[in-house]
Amino acid sequence: MNRGDAPYLRIAEELRRRIASGELAAGDKVPSTRQIMREWGVAMATAGKVLARLREEGLTRAVRGVGTVVAGREGPPRAPGQDLTRQRIVRAAVRIADGEGLAAVSMRRIATELDSSAMSLYRHVAGKDELVHLMADAVYGEDPPPDRIPRGWRAQLELVLRQQWSIHRRHPWLAQAVSLTRPRFVPNGMAHTDRLLRAVDGLGLDAGTMLHAATSLMNFVRGTAVSLEVEQQARTETGITDDEWMQAREAELGELLASGAYPTIAKVVAQPGLDMDLDSIFEFGLRRQLDGLVVLVARARDGRRD
């Protein structure tokens, strides 16, 4: 496939590869129109062409009440639960959560997606709590550390934290699935924590400060990401983008600001070129968090020299 080919052909080729490799098995739900739009940043018409192309090639079929799934193999039908694996169950759960939120994930819903029975799933997963644990572990493992680690503790922290933000961006439900006060031991999530601690090790910080620094940074990413699922659900339910939502309320905002009750807000928002979204909030907050850590490290080093 050439780079000059239409976007829908390139996306169809990627989904075709996933089907051929078994990443998407027979009966698995393929990405919906909205998921394709979000993952590849294309228009709805382009996403529709992708799904139409796969149907024309006989790779997918529409299932009423479910959506578009990978076409089944020829031959005798599978017995319920046949070919079920923990990996397939987790993949299906992640796809549902990505498209509809964590609340939409249930053993019954996953069983429908996989053309199986809910009881057969329990042979592989104890229940939803364990499933969410496995889902979090799977997505945290999507972005392994690069072969070449950047020099300098700040650059190393930025790399890990931006990877975490990217993971939350792809999986808006993740912030609701993890807890800092009652954490589940997620191996791939622990690997992220270990990389953060490794970056600040040897800077003169004591163990308690190192752990608090790493945890605070992860909590900043998670705290910013909490709004991602809410925004996604609002867009899905209303079909209105964030910009369209704000535009529809410009008159209401104008009246509030004209009242004189909020003079500083009125002065700030009147400035030209203002642009703020969750990504800009993340980038601003990340820099300020690390600026503060620079001061803490400098004090620790001064104390060590004394």
**Cα dihedral across residues 302, 303, 304, 306: positive or negative:** positive
Q: Are 67 and 134 within 8 A, CB to CB?
A: no
Closest CA to 162 of 278, 40, 282: 282
Q: At what angle do helices 128-140 and 153-170 cross, to 10 degrees?
A: 130
Q: Are 157 and 217 within 8 A, CB to CB?
A: yes
3-state helix, strand, coil in the chain (%, to 5): 65, 5, 35
Q: Strands 60-63 and 67-70, how do they pair?
A: antiparallel
Rounded Cα gap, residues 74 and 54, in angstroms:
17
- Which top CATH class is 1-77? mainly alpha
Q: What is the DSSP letter of 72?
A: P
Tens-digit pLDDT profile for residues 5-35: 678 888 989 998 888 888 888 888 888 888 8
For the chain, the domains span 1-77, 78-140, 153-239+275-305
CATH of domain 78-140: 1.10.10.60
Q: Give the number of other Cβ atoms within 10 Å of residue 135's Cβ.
A: 26
Q: With b meaning 16 or more CB within 10 Å and e meaning fewer, what string describes 271-296?
A: eeeeeeebeeebeeebeebbeebeeb
Q: Which amino acid is at 115?
A: D
* CATH 1.10.357.10, domain 153-239+275-305, yes or no: yes
Q: Are 134 and 90 within 8 A, CB to CB?
A: yes
Is there a common fold for 1-77 and 78-140?
Answer: yes
**Cα dihedral across residues 122, 126, 127, 133: positive or negative:** negative
Q: Per-block average pLDDT, block size 10, for the chain (306 residues)? A: 67 89 85 86 84 82 73 50 80 89 89 85 91 95 87 95 94 88 82 95 94 95 89 68 76 86 88 84 94 93 63
Tens-digit pLDDT profile for residues 127-178: 999 999 999 999 999 888 888 889 999 999 999 999 999 999 999 999 988 8
